Every structure is written in C-alpha cells, then in structure tokens.
Amino acid sequence: MRALRYVLAAAEQMSFSGAAGALGMKVSSVSRQVRNFEDAIGISLFERSTSGVRLTDAGSQLLDDIIPVLQMAEAVLQRAGAAGRVEEGTVKVGIITTLGGGFLRELIATYRQSYPGVRLVIFDGGRQDHLRAIRARQLDVAFFTGNAPLAGCDVEEFWRERVHVAMSAEHPLADSNAVDWPQLRQEQFIVSSMEPGPEVHDYIVRRIADYSTYPDVSYRQVTVETLMHMVAIGEGITLVSQGWTSMSHADLTLRPLTANEDIVPFSAVWSPSSDNPALRRFLSFARELAVKQQGRRAQ
C-alpha cells in the first residue's frame, strides 16, 4: 500500500522530487521505494529523465486499475477508524419508562448531539423481554428500576427518581403539595397491563402492605398513555416516575410521595461480553452525565 502511494505521488507530480516534497520524504527514499516496487512486480512504471518522470503504458494501466482499489481501501480504513473512535455505530437501547423527561431523556438527547454519527435505536418493552434480548445480543443496553444483580449481566445504577401519584386535577388530593401512603389506602389504583404496569402493580401492593392494608388496584388493557387519560377523567389514580413531571397533561395532576422509600434507583443493564465500542462510549457518557446531575443537585 505504501509503495503504491509513492508511485501515485510520483505520477501526479511527474517527478520524484515533487513526490518527495508532497510526502515529506527524501527524494532518494521515494526513488528507491518506487524502484524496489518495479523490481518486485517486474514492470517498469516510469520513464526517467533529467526533467522528471513519465508513466509508461504499463504504469498508466496499473494506476487505472489500482486507484479505485486504493480509494476503497482508504474508505474502509476511515470507517473502521471512525467506529473505533465511536464516531459511527449503533446502540440499541431498551426502556420501560417514559422519555418525557428526567435523566434518560437528557442522556438520549445530549448523546445524539455529541455523537451524531452514532445511531441510537430505542425499544419499548418489558424487563424479561429486554433481558432475553441482551443475553441474545439483540439489545445493547436497557434501563430498569432497581439495582439488584442480574445473572449474566452487568448492572450499574445511574440515577434516582421520586415516585409520583398521578390523579385527576379534580381529585381532593390535587391541592396538596405532596402525599403519603396513609392518604391513599382507600383509593382505587389503575395500572396498564402492558409494561411497566405489572411492576407498578407490585410496587403499590408492597408499599400499601407496610400500612397493614391491601390496595384496590386493577389492570386496564390499555397503553400507559391511554391510562393517563383515564386517570385525568377520574377513573382512578396511578403511580409514575419523576420523568413524567416535565410532561404537560390537561386535567392531570402529579404529586410526589414523601417517604424516602419512594425514591427508586434506575440502572443500566448490559452484557459484559459485548464488544460494541459505541456501547462502551455510551455508558461512559452516561456516567459523566450522572456526575454532572449530582453536581447540579448539590448546588
């Protein structure tokens, strides 16, 4: 490859001295490399004279054939280098929460701005579906609530969010700045049968059980977005993550739960055997963002 570049430079400059100047080399080095290449292939590529060099017919034919190959090889090397520097690539991200606001939305938005050549593909789904996809190398990373170890996966907590109660703007508790579980013991909870509805259901049952009662909670065969509209018209209340607070919903009120136990961790989960360089940079970027957010909260 190097010898071909010397040949190409000499042909373009029509002299070894011009080629040496363009390449930042000694004239003798360029001349020797070209001569060695000619000897190796058994073809004279240049007619040499005191005024410079001129391609032979064989030399012209060789360059006509080899230039497209050189250009293709350089393009391949550039793409490989870009992938190694994480200027290109794809990261497949699984989520079970909203991208309406909070850390996850900021992460996705700022990463896309910083690495426009990297394609982020977002997948909605359930915890078990995402875990299967990660283990099958069909998904690079997923974000879940909790920080417990998972077999065959790396788990790292990145941020925390306070749980909020979503209710109609006409609900008696809508005028409160915050609510606590004893105020919710007689409420009717509704959750989506789709993810993350089952997780929300289990959370409600677990937290209400701390107050020696069992909640009135039922599933609805609707998406989370439709469920929120049902809450807004007074069909029941539900729980959402803090990320929902940055979204505007007519006739819907969100109020934080006051207990420390209602601050939940969110973690990234990925396969330790993943060799995707774009994933590694994405995780590093997430760590940097998490530190920045902690700094903002501390101010």
pLDDT value at residue 132? 95
> Same structural domain for residues 66 and 124?
no
> Same structural domain for residues 78 and 113?
no
Confidence of residue 262 (pLDDT cuts 50, 70, 90): very high
DSSP string, 142-168: EEEE-----TTSEEEEEEEEE-EEEEE
59-74 confidence digits (pLDDT tens): 888 888 877 877 787 7
In terms of DSSP bridges, do strands 118-124 and 238-240 run parallel, antiparallel, or are they unpaired?
A: unpaired
Confidence of residue 114 (pLDDT cuts 50, 70, 90): very high
CATH number for position 174: 3.40.190.10
> Same structural domain for residues 77 and 7?
yes
In terms of DSSP bridges, do strands 141-145 and 263-270 run parallel, antiparallel, or are they unpaired?
A: antiparallel
Of 63, 84, 105, which marks where a domain is finished?
A: 84
Output the average pLDDT for the chain: 89
pLDDT value at residue 77? 65
Total number of domains constituting the chain: 3
> Same structural domain for residues 133 and 169?
no
CATH number for position 31: 1.10.10.10
Q: Which domain holds residue 70?
A: 2-84
> Same structural domain for residues 72 and 196?
no
> Same structural domain for residues 272 and 232?
no
Confidence of residue 100 (pLDDT cuts 50, 70, 90): low
pLDDT at 79 over 80: no
> Same structural domain for residues 281 and 147?
yes
Q: What is d(CA 238, CA 231) in angstroms, rounded to the nearest whole number?
A: 7
Integer angstrom CA distances of residue 117 from 90, 94, 111, 124: 9, 20, 10, 23
> Same structural domain for residues 247 and 277?
no
